C-alpha cells in the first residue's frame, strides 16, 4: 500500500501523431515498497505523512502536479467548505448516495471491512452492513455479472475493480451485457451500474498494474465513461454516475488518490457529459484528462512565462465528448493539442482527433497534435517507465511548434 501513495507521478516523453495519421491485499496486488506518503495541497504545499525511507520523492512531487498560483495557507483556510483527499471525496460521494438511496450497494474484492485497496469504501461496511457492502471472491467476471444482474432488478450497484487491468477478465460482461442489455431487451431493462477503480501508470507498478483501459471500453455501445482528476470532480462525478440510469465506467488514477482540495460542504452533482474549463486562453486549445491535467498545468506555467496563452480543458467525459465546449475553444484558438496517458494507437486522443476533424476542421489553422503514451507495455524499471508517458517539457515544445 505504501507504493500506491509514493509520489504523484513522474514526467516522461511521448509519441506524436497528427490529424493525418491517424479499475490490496491479494497475490495479484501491487508489491509493496518502503516509501513516504505525501499530501499535495492546492496551494503547492507538500506534507509528508509517513516516512519509511523514501528516495528523492521531493523531486518528483513538484513536477507531477501543477498547483494553483498565488494562493497561501491563510487564503485556503479561510475558504468555505472542507479539505479532503481525492479518495476521501469518492467515499464521501458514495456514502451520501447510499444514505439517500437504499438501492445503492457496493461489491468487489476487499471493499467491505478492509475498506478497499485504496480505502474508498472504508467505514461503509460497519455502517451499511455486509449485504450492501459485499466482499467478493477474486473473480471479476462473476461479481461484475452479478452486479449487472442486480442492476437489472432495480439495484444501483457500484462494482470496484481492485485494479482496472483486472476488469479485462469481465470484458464480456461489460460489453455484451452491461452495454447492450437495454437495447437487446427492447428497453425492458435498465442497467444503472457504476464500474470504477484505479488505473494508469504508477510508480514502478509493472505492466499489468499500469493499464489504461479507456481505449478498450470506448467502442462499446451504451457505455458512458468519465475520468476524475480532482477531489471536487471525483465526488461530483461519483454521485452523478450512481444516479444515472446508464452504465458508467469511472476511471480513477492511482497517483491522484492523495491529491488534496477544498470542496463545498453543501451537496453538488456534476454532469457526466461536460468538460471543465481549467484555464481560459487565446493561443492554443490543450485537451487533456486525469493525471495529464497536472502535467499540462505544469507546462502552462512555463508557456505563460514564454508569452503563450494556452487554453486548458479537462474533457472529463471520455464518452461522449463535450463537443460544445471543445468546439467553442477550437473556434477561438484555431489550434489543438491533445495530451493523454492512453496509448497512441486507438486511444482517446485518436477518437478526439477524428471528432474535431469531422466537426471543426474549417476552424483549424494547423494540424491537430496528439501527445500519447508509447505503444509498449509499461516497464517496471523506473527510468524506462518515465520514457513511456508525456512530460511537461515536451508539452511546452509541442505548443511552441504548433504556434509558429
- Cite the active site residues: 140, 209
Written as nine digits, the cell of 281 is 486562453
Distance CA 113, CA 124 (A): 8
Contact partners, residue 257, CB within 8 Å, separation at least 6:
4, 5, 85, 86, 87, 118, 198
Distance CA 126, CA 137 (A): 20
Distance CA 62, CA 47 (A): 12
Distance CA 109, CA 160 (A): 7
**Residue bearing cell 471525483:** 234
In order of 275, 323, 328, 356, 364, the CA distances from 333 in angstroms are 17, 15, 9, 13, 8
H/E stretch holding 276 reads strand 276-279
Q: Check if the beta carbon of residue 23 is closer than 8 Å to that of residue 163.
A: yes
- Burial letters for 301-331: b for 16+ Cβ neighbours within 10 Å, e otherwise? eebeeeebebbbbbbbbbbebbbebbbbbbe
- Burial letters for 44-82: b for 16+ Cβ neighbours within 10 Å, e otherwise? beeeeeeeeebeebeebbebbbbbeeeeeeeebeeeeee
- The packing angle between helices 86-100 and 231-243, to 10°, is 30
Answer left, alpha or beta for residue 32, where phi above 0 means left and psi between -120 and 50 means alpha: beta
Sign of the alpha-carbon torsion through 326, 327, 332, 338 = positive
Distance CA 277, CA 262 (A): 18
Amino acid at each position: 500500500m505504501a507504493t500506491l501513495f509514493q509520489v504523484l507521478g513522474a514526467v516522461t516523453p511521448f509519441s506524436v501523431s497528427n490529424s493525418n495519421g491517424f479499475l490490496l491485499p491479494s497475490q495479484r496486488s501491487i508489491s509493496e515498497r518502503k516509501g513516504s506518503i505525501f499530501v499535495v495541497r492546492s496551494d503547492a504545499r507538500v506534507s509528508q505523512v509517513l516516512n519509511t525511507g523514501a528516495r528523492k520523492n521531493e523531486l518528483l512531487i513538484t513536477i507531477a502536479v501543477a498547483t494553483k498560483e498565488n494562493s497561501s495557507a491563510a487564503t485556503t483556510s479561510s475558504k468555505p467548505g472542507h479539505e479532503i483527499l481525492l479518495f476521501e471525496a469518492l467515499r464521501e460521494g458514495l456514502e451520501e448516495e447510499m444514505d439517500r438511496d437504499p438501492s445503492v450497494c457496493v461489491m468487489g474484492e476487499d471493499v467491505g471491512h478492509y475498506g478497499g485497496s485504496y480505502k474508498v469504501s472504508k467505514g461503509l461496511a460497519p455502517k451499511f452492513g455486509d449485504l450492501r457492502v459485499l466482499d467478493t471472491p477474486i473473480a471479476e467476471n462473476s461479481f461484475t455479472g452479478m452486479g449487472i444482474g442486480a442492476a437489472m432488478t432495480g439495484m444501483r450497484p457500484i462494482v470496484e475493480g481492485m485494479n482496472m487491468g483486472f476488469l479485462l477478465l469481465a470484458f464480456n460482461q461489460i460489453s455484451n451485457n452491461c452495454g447492450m442489455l437495454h437495447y437487446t431487451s427492447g428497453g425492458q431493462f435498465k442497467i444503472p451500474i457504476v464500474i470504477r477503480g484505479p488505473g494508469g501508470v504508477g510508480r514502478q507498478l509493472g505492466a499489468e498494474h499500469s493499464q489504461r483501459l479507456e481505449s478498450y471500453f470506448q467502442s462499446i455501445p451504451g457505455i458512458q465513461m468519465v475520468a476524475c482528476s480532482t477531489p471536487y470532480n471525483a465526488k461530483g462525478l461519483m454521485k452523478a454516475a450512481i444516479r444515472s440510469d446508464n452504465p458508467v465506467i469511472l476511471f480513477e488514477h492511482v497517483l491522484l488518490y492523495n491529491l488534496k482540495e477544498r470542496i463545498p460542504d453543501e451537496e453538488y452533482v456534476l454532469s457526466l457529459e461536460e468538460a471543465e474549463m481549467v484555464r481560459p486562453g487565446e493561443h492554443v486549445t490543450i485537451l487533456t484528462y486525469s493525471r495529464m491535467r497536472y502535467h499540462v498545468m505544469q507546462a502552462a506555467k512555463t508557456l505563460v512565462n514564454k508569452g503563450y496563452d494556452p487554453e486548458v480543458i479537462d474533457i472529463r467525459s471520455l464518452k461522449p465528448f463535450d463537443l460544445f465546449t471543445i468546439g467553442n475553444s477550437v473556434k477561438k484558438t484555431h489550434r489543438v493539442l491533445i495530451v493523454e496517458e492512453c496509448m497512441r494507437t486507438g486511444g482517446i486522443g485518436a477518437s478526439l482527433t477524428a471528432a474535431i476533424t469531422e466537426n471543426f476542421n474549417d476552424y483549424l489553422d494547423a494540424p491537430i497534435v496528439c501527445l500519447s503514451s508509447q505503444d509498449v507495455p509499461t516497464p517496471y524499471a523506473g527510468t524506462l517507465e518515465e520514457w513511456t508517458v508525456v512530460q511537461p517539457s515536451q508539452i511546452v515544445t509541442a505548443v511552441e511548434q504548433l504556434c509558429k
